[in-house]
Every structure is written in structure tokens, then in C-alpha cells.
Structure 1
Amino acid sequence: LFFEDICGETSGIKMPRHAKSWGDGNKIKIELNNERSNAIKGFKDDVESGDYPNSNHTVDMLPGEKEALLEKLDNF
């Protein structure tokens, strides 16, 4: 008896006689995969349309900060 058997996470196989499931882990795995697919599609669509990233999702350096960083790196 394995964790996956107990939680019902086995699919595409016949359960052995000695095993039993007390849950439907496959249902949750399918829902999670669907949510992941929807999220990746939404991300892709927003990137391709130019909606992401935008000024709400970026951080700018203060004036002079980049030059100070580059100078310190040169002297490192």
C-alpha cells in the first residue's frame, strides 16, 4: 500500500487487490493541471499583447543609482 494508492492518485492502472483508495487525488491533480494551463495561457496572452509587464510591474532606479553601481563594480 502506497501513499498514492491511499490518496487515490493512481490512474490508468488496475488497483491491486491489497490496495484501497480513501480519496480522489486524481481529481485534484486534473484541476491543478487545468489551473496551471489557464495561468500559463493568461501569462502568454498578456506578454504577447503587451499588457505585461507594464509600469505597474516594474521598478525604476533613482537618478544616479545606476552610475554609482557601475562605478562601485569597476572598483571592486
Structure 2
Amino acid sequence: MDVLLFKYLAAKNGDTMRDVAKAIKVSATTISNRLTNKRGDFTRADIQTLKERWKLTPEEVVKVFLQTDAKPEI
């Protein structure tokens, strides 16, 4: 997950993390935990809701939610 891109898209669309939480019907703490990888991932339903809310392209969805932060070893 690309946390910085997630936060950028939220801000670009005028959403606070509290707004995002309300949109996907979870607590703000749950959003924080998901963004810091402490607990859980975004569900398909969450991703679909945010895709529609932020008018994301399929490519943006992949960049934000599905790509890993793992860096290749050299």
C-alpha cells in the first residue's frame, strides 16, 4: 500500500482521515491502524467505496492499495 498516495488522494478530494473512516463505516483509529500496517487491510468494499468517492482509475487503485512497499534487494 502506498500510504503517501492514499493521504494525497484523500486531501486532494477534501477528505480528512475522519471523513474516510465515516465513508467506509469504520473508526478513525481503524484507518490509522490500516495505514500503519498495525492491523488489517482495506476490504474490497472499502476500496470500491473510495474508488467511487475519489473517482480513481483502475491503475490508481493498484498503485494505492495493491502494490507492496517492498524494495528489491541489490
The TM-score by the shorter chain falls in which range? under 0.3
Scaled by the length of structure 2, what TM-score is found? Answer: 0.22
Instruction: Compute the TM-score of the two structures, normalised by the length of structure 1.
Output: 0.22
The answer to which structure has the higher helix fraction is: 2
Greater Cα radius of gyration, structure 1 or 2: 1
Higher relative contact order (CA 8 A, sep 6+): 2
